[in-house]
Structure formats: C-alpha cells, structure tokens
A and B are shown apart, each in its own frame.
Chain A
Amino acid sequence: MIEFAEVSKRYPNGQEALKRVTFELADGEMAFLTGHSGAGKSTLLKLICLMERATSGQVVVNNKNLNRTSKRNIPSVRRNIGMIFQDHRLLFDRSVFDNVALPLIIAGYPHREIGRRVRAALDKVGLLSKEKHTPIMLSGGEQQRVGIARAVVNKPPLLLADEPTGNLDPELSSEIMKLFEQFNQVGVSLLIASHDLSLIAQMHYRTLVMKEGQLVSDQIEATTDNEAVSYE
C-alpha cells in the first residue's frame, strides 16, 4: 500500500526532516509511527498525501508513484486516502452530516447515496443521533469521531492518522483505537502517528520509530511500557 525508498525531505529553510527513509506498508496492514515531536512523523504523513513532496527517493502509494503525480492529479490521490487529524479539521459552520458528506459531495456521488453512506459512517462511530448538530456542540472525543467518519465515508483503502488521540483522555483514546482495529479487520490499511507509547504497547501492532528524521526501529510490537527505551 505504501512504499518509501530512500526518501529524504529537506525543507526550504534547510531543515532536514527525513533522511533516507525506507519502509513498506502491506495492503491491509496496520502500523504505528512514533517518535519525539520533530522526529519527522508529520512530514512522513504529508509526503503520503502530497501535502509535501520528497526531495529525493521514491514514494509509492496505492501503486501510484507520487513523484510523478502532477498537481492536477493530487485530488484523485487524496480521495483514496482517509486522513484524520489531531485538531479534527472540521468545518464549524456546517452540520455533522455535511462535514461527513464532504468527500462524497466532492467526488460527485448521487444525492441519495450520500445520505445512505453518511449515516452508515456516523452509525459506525456511534454518532448517528447527532447528525444535525454542529461540531461546536460536540465534545472533543465526538469531534474526533466525526473526523474519522469523514475519513472513512468513501471507503478509502488507506487511512492516515496524525496524533488522533492527542487531545483525548485514555479511555476515549482506546475507544478510537478500537475503531481503527475494526477498520483494519475489513481490510483497510492504517498508518497512525502517535507518541502515546503506552497505548501503542497495549495494541501489539507493528511500530515504526523515528528519530531525527531517520527510521531507527521497525518492530512488530512495541517493547515495553517504558517510553524512554524505544526512543533512545
């Protein structure tokens, strides 16, 4: 699903965010991406959804070489990726339903199908009763679930999450993680950036550890609950 080959990213200000990163995420695989803030997690995710371009190396997503994707084709790449953000990135002047419907409207789905799919996605995250609310009326955990519903509503084969539980308490966080596991069980590939090591440790999934722009560890399970160990 995702292939990075010797990928480096240097920002115009000279900061080297990624250094020769190589890894592969198989179809239907779920993995965590962890490391200190500034280690390059966000940059890595941004390269996958073409918010940034690699300075060197190859990024292949869903069998498409992103190095050769023209600006015009960026939207079609993004439509195949569901993205979940720490700050949710919801539109606060529109209802929950309209927020979730956004990817479908953009892709030109017929009206009736939009209603069906949005309600299915909201049902999945347990917010069907709040479709007419605006996001401002919801709690942080609920807002994040609206963000997740929006990410999955058009059934993308790949989900990217950038600190999805960053602002949530442990109980809500594990609820969100359970949702991700359910998506994974139906074949969706997931890459979740998080620095919540205790949560990652409970989950027993592949974990990519980044440090100063390099991939320093790639294990199936996080080692211990001791956060310091896997970083150093």
Chain B
Amino acid sequence: MSNEQPTGASLSQGATIGARLNMLTHLHKLEARRGIAEIFNNPVSNFMTILVIAIALALPAGLQILLDNSKSLSESWDGASRISLYLKTDLKENRLYSLADEIRQQNDVAKVDVITQKQALDDFKQRSGFADALSQLDSNPLPPVLVIQPSPSHSTPQASELMLAEFDRIPEVDIAQLDLDWVRKLYAIIQLAEKAASALGIALGLAVLLIVGNTIRLSVQNRREEIEVVKLVGATDGFIRRPFLYTGLWYGLFAGITCWLILNISLLWLQESVANLAGLYQSQFSLSGLGAIQSLQLILISCGLGLLGSWLSVGRHIRQIEPR
C-alpha cells in the first residue's frame, strides 16, 4: 500500500471482464451458500417455516391431483356412455335373447350384454350382503336388463339421447336409462371444485408469500448491525438484498421438495383404499400421482413464491436500515 499512490476506490485497473464475471459467479456461489447456512443455523424454527409453506402448498396441489384423477375417471366413462334397458319382469327368457339379437342388428350399437333375472339376483346377493333375506323371497323382483354399448360414432351425448328415446318406445322396455346423466353431474361438480381449488391455491399462494416475507423480515432485522456496516463501506441495496433472495429461494426449494414428499406419501396412503373402492365398482382405476413435469412445476412454483416473497419483503426493510 505504501509505495502506491492512492487511487480511490475506482475499480481496479487491469481486471478483465472475464475476471469480473468470475468474481460475480464466485459471489453468487458464496451468497447461495450463506443463504443455506442461514437456514441450517437455526434448523428447528426454519424447518417449521418450511413445513408450514409445504403444507400451504400441499393443500391446493393435493386437491388438484384429486380433481385430475376424478376428471380422468369421468372422461373414461364419458366415452362409454352405456344405455341400460330395464325390461318388464314377466318377459320370457327366449324373448329376452331375441330382443337382444334384434338390437344387436342395429348399426349404431356396438355391443349388447344380457343380464337375466337370475344373474341379476345372484349378483345382487353377492354384493349387497342380503343373501339370506333375498332367499326368503318367493319370486325374483329384479328385472332382466340389456346393457347397450353404442358404437363409437354414436356415443356422443346427443346421439345417445336419440337412441334412448328410440329404445324407450320398444314395448318390452320398462325403463330406458342413460348412464351418462350422473357423469354429467359429476363433471359439473368437478368444474365447481376446480374453481374452488384455484381460489384456494391463490389464497394459499398469498399466504406463502406472507410467510416467506415475514421470515425474511425477521432475518433482516436480526442482521441489522451487519447491514449497517456493509452499507457504511459502500454496499448497494442490491448487494445487500442478494443473500436474502437466496434464502427465500432456498425456502421455496426445500418447501417444494417437502410438499412433494407430503403429497406422495398421502397418495401412497390413499392408494390401497382407492384400489379397494375401485374393486367394488369392478374398475381397474388407481390414483395417478405427480408426473415428472408436474413435480417440476410444483417445485418451480414453490421456488418462485419463495423468491418473490423475499423480494417483496427485503427491499422495503433494507431501505429502512440506515447506518447511525
């Protein structure tokens, strides 16, 4: 120092742009590490914060997963809009089969399944658990049923309804029912639930911003003295902001990963019950969890919220701290 003229704090001469860039990446690494250290310095309370954020994210994300699942479920039924013809109970068995054959001849019908009265009763006995009570009956109260699968070209709701009206006119038919109806209702409910999930997502996203913002505010206040010193030696607000932004980003990342774990564990836990339920409906349905892209989206959104939350908070609070 002694043999050089004081040059002031103008940036050092001879430093190439490459060297500067190196320094910048070096600094970012340093600050990223310091941000993590900040979290691990106080593991218990920071883990709680992360857990709170993760739960706040898991609620709307979990709801979204359930909705996606029920949508795929209803869509798979939507294509197979079956028509059930409940026939008159006094119908002879051979007339039943001939009627089925007649209907099979129609070119808008893909498949006709026959459920005789006896089959219906056996099935009912097996599933309802009223086997003993049913055996007391003198006659079979259940009607024979024809389950009609429209050909793919006629499985739209409108075409199905036309067919339904047609079948209703057959004299042997007691009731003709389109299985699509309840699917439509389910679909409307799902749409409603989807809107509710979006609202919930927005509200909880805001909550995450507030949680991160508040945590960062405390962290800024804890480091007030350090910020004053750094300001005194000429640090810009941007420089001071950076480590806090990294802390926010890490909060988001850890919370995103935790949220992903929570969701997957819950899905695993539900899987058996769902399989059981699906079995009762003779369905191969199983819950589909988060795919790779959705997992990535979840973690990115979480990181984004962490970063945004700390960015919204840190600027304001750093500006308030001036060295005295």
Contact = CB atoms under 8 A, between A and B. Distances in A.
A220 interface: no
Given A157-B8, A187-B6, A107 B234 contact: yes
Given A108-B11, A108-B23, A75 B234 contact: yes
Contacts, number: 97
Contact of A155 (B7, B23, B239): B7
B230 interface: yes
Nearest to A98: B30
Contact of B1 (A75, A76, A83, A121): A121
B5 A111 contact: no
B12 A78 contact: no
Given A91-B229, A106-B234, A108-B20, A113 B6 contact: no
A4 B214 CA distance: 43
Interface string B204-234: 0000000000000000000000101111111
Given A75-B235, A109-B15, A80 B9 contact: yes
B111 interface: no
A209 interface: no
B19 interface: yes
Nearest to B26: A111
Contacts of A51: 232, 322-324
A20 interface: no
A124 B324 CA distance: 29
A93 B222 CA distance: 13
A150 interface: yes
A223 B228 CA distance: 38
B75 to A, nearest CB: 56
Nearest to A78: B234
Dominant SS among interface residues on chain B: loop
Interface string A122-136: 001000000000000
A187 B7 CA distance: 10
Interface in A49-99: 49, 51, 62, 75-80, 83, 89-91, 93
A106 B239 contact: yes
B239 to A, nearest CB: 6
Contacts of A83: 232-233
Nearest to B233: A103
A150 B30 CA distance: 20
A134 to B, nearest CB: 14
B80 to A, nearest CB: 66
Nearest to B5: A187
A110 B13 CA distance: 11
A49 B12 contact: no
Contacts of A182: 2
Contacts of B20: 108, 110
Given A51-B323, A155-B8, A111 B2 contact: no
Q: Which of A102, A108, A187 is packed against the most chain B CB atoms within 10 Å?
A: A108
B168 to A, nearest CB: 79
B5 A109 contact: no
A103 B9 contact: yes
A124 B236 contact: no
A182 to B, nearest CB: 7
Contact of B233 (A106, A111, A121, A187): A106
B232 A78 contact: yes
Contacts of A112: 19
B62 to A, nearest CB: 40
Contacts of B5: 186-187
A194 interface: no
B23 A111 contact: yes
Q: Which of A105, A120, A121, A187 is packed against the most chain B CB atoms within 10 Å?
A: A105
A189 to B, nearest CB: 9
B23 A49 contact: no
Given A78-B233, A109-B12, 5 more contacts: A76-B234, A83-B232, A90-B229, A102-B233, A103-B234
The 7 closest A-B CB pairs, nearest first, are A79-B234, A79-B9, A78-B234, A110-B19, A154-B9, A103-B233, A75-B234
16 contacts: A51-B232, A75-B231, A78-B233, A89-B232, A90-B229, A102-B233, A103-B9, A105-B27, A106-B230, A110-B12, A110-B23, A111-B22, A124-B2, A155-B8, A157-B6, A186-B3
